[in-house]
Structures are given as structure tokens and as C-alpha cells.
């Protein structure tokens, strides 16, 4: 539950515009989470019409698609999934594909190099693949490639346009990567603490150390709490990053204990590039 909880979406993206008849010529694409829709929009441009499935504040307790979303799904030619094991997809993909068997499912994470989840450095032997692969510029390029390929296969007519769009996006992402690397240059303290370990790929790309409070998405035990606090003190951490709309009670408790503060960083923003830039700035500020 703790994981699916932080899949947030721009609700506006779901609204009616995606279902109205006049845009019938456009290809209907449904994505599971918001960041993926950013890529589809960028690459598909005017030829696609994107709908996001996950409603705001999605929680299986309340997740309940509207008929509008479902018709979008029914009309969709393509579904872009993260494919990295995010819970929402584990829970609902089967139902979605069962309801629209003709829909092409595009795996945005094809060929990516997965990393395993690092908890807070505890003694766990069993590790699981970290699903938050979209949160690094390099993986962003990979996603762009995957989506371009899917769109091109399904709609060869606009193939060239898609390739061009992808190339432009790639450039931007490359610039972003360089920009962030520069910002981080010369930093001695390279550890930041997040509550939910979503920023592992980001940390890997920029040679940072992500310390996660939450262990495998499970409720914190007193011992875990003790260890996390110990680690925060060891790395002299004063900021605990949280997803902006996630219950921050546990993070607040840790922050109180270390005399620090909590600060939101958004792993699911639709404004992909700016969001990564802002996150990087926030991490940098916290490590100074």
C-alpha cells in the first residue's frame, strides 16, 4: 500500500478532452503514471492523445476509474507502462489488458539497467528491483527511445516526426544531465535522505548516496527508526525528503529527532525536466 500511495497525477490530464470525437484521427495512448505521459506528449506531439490512468492520490482503497477513463482505455491503441514493477501496474494491468486485448502494451523500461533497492543499509539479503527507473536523465533518454519505437511501429506514417521529436528531447535531457553534474561538482558530502527510496537511479547517475528511511515499503519498526536516526546523524543530515502529497508523519518524526526539516520532492511530476532540475537543486542545498 505504501508504494502505490505516492503515484500522483495531474488530474486535468485525465479530463474529457481525451475522449471527444473530434480528435478521432489522433492515436489514443494511455499511460499508467504521469511522467510517462510527458514523454509520449513530447515525442508523439500532435499525433497522439494521452490519458493517464492513475487518479490523483491513488490508493487501492479508493482507486476507481471513471467511465471516461475506461472509454479512453477501450479506444486506446497503445498503453505505455513503466514495466519496472510499480504497484499500480501489478494491481491493475491484468484487468486493463483483459478489457482491451487489442491494445499494444509498450514497456517504457525495456532494456534498462535495473538497480536493486537499497534499504537503509540494514542486513537484508533479499533485494528487489527498484521500480523508480524514470527518475534519472539517462533513463529518460531510454524511455524516449522505447516510446519512439512503439509509436513508430504503430503509426509508421509519422515515423520521421517521432524520431525528430525524440532527438530534440534527448538533447534536452543530455543538457540536464550535464547541468546537474556541474552543480554537484566538488561536493564532499554526497548523501541525502529520502523517506521513500525513489531516487536511487538519480543517485546512481550522479554518484550520490541515497539514504532511505523506509525499508521496502513496510511500516517502520522502532528499531528501523533507531537505525535511520543513527544514520542521519552519522551523515549529518538535516533534511528528509518526502513525496509532496504523501503522509509525512513518519518523516516528520525522523526530522524532529535529528533536529531537521522535511522537504517535498516529487517523483511523479508531469513537468519532467524542470522537476528533476528542482530536485537536484534541493538535494544540493541539503548537502551543503
Say which residues have a Cβ less than 8 Å from residue 167's Cβ, sequence separation at least 6.
none
Per CB under 8 A, does 102 bind other proteins? no
**From 49-57, 103-111, 150-158, 233-241, span contacting other proteins (CB under 8 A):** 49-57
**From 103-111, 135-143, 146-154, 197-205, span contacting Zn ion (CB under 5 A):** 197-205
Per CB under 8 A, does 234 bind other proteins? no
Per CB under 8 A, does 1 bind other proteins? yes
Residue 249 Cβ, how far from other proteins at the closest point, in Å? Answer: 4
Instruction: Indicate which of Zn ion, other proteins, none lies near residue 171 (CB less than 5 to 8 Å, by partner kind).
Output: none
Interface mask toward other proteins for 214-233; x: CB under 8 A: --xxxxxxxxxxx--x----
Q: How far apart are CA 256 and CA 250, in angstroms?
A: 10
Site residues (vs other proteins, CB under 8 A): 1-6, 8-12, 15-16, 55-68, 70-71, 73-74, 87, 90-92, 95-96, 98-100, 117, 124-129, 216-226, 229, 244-247, 249-250, 252-253, 256-257
Residues lying near Zn ion in the complex (CB under 5 A) are found at: 198
Amino acid at each position: 500500500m505504501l508504494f502505490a500511495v505516492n503515484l500522483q497525477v495531474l488530474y486535468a490530464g485525465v479530463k474529457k478532452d481525451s475522449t471527444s470525437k473530434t480528435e478521432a484521427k489522433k492515436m489514443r495512448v494511455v499511460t499508467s503514471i504521469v511522467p510517462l505521459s510527458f514523454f509520449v506528449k513530447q515525442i508523439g506531439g500532435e499525433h497522439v492523445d494521452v490519458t493517464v490512468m492513475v487518479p490523483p492520490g491513488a490508493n487501492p482503497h479508493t482507486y476507481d476509474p471513471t467511465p471516461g477513463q475506461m472509454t479512453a482505455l477501450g479506444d486506446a491503441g497503445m498503453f505505455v507502462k513503466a514495466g519496472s514493477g510499480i504497484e499500480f501496474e501489478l494491481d491493475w494491468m491484468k484487468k486493463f489488458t483483459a478489457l482491451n486485448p487489442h491494445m499494444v502494451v509498450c514497456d517504457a523500461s525495456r532494456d534498462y539497467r535495473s538497480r536493486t533497492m537499497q534499504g537503509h543499509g540494514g542486513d537484508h539479503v533479499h533485494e528487489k528491483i527498484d521500480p523508480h527507473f524514470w527518475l534519472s536523465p539517462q533513463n529518460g533518454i531510454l524511455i524516449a527511445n522505447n516510446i519512439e519505437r512503439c509509436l513508430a511501429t504503430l503509426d509508421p506514417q509519422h515515423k520521421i516526426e517521432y524520431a525528430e521529436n525524440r532527438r530534440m528531447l534527448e538533447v534536452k535531457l543530455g543538457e540536464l544531465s550535464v547541468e546537474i553534474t556541474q552543480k554537484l561538482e566538488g561536493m564532499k558530502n554526497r548523501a541525502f535522505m529520502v523517506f521513500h527510496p525513489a531516487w536511487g537511479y538519480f543517485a546512481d547517475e550522479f554518484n550520490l548516496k541515497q539514504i532511505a528511511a523506509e525499508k521496502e515499503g513496510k511500516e517502520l519498526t522502532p528499531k528501523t527508526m533507531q537505525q535511520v536516526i543513527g544514520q542521519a546523524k552519522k551523515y549529518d543530515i538535516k533534511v528528509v525528503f518526502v513525496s509532496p502529497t504523501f503522509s509525512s508523519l513518519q518523516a516528520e518524526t525522523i526530522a524532529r529527532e535529528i533536529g531537521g526539516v522535511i522537504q517535498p520532492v516529487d517523483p511523479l511530476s508531469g513537468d519532467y525536466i524542470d522537476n528533476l532540475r528542482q530536485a537536484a537543486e534541493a538535494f544540493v542545498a541539503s548537502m551543503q
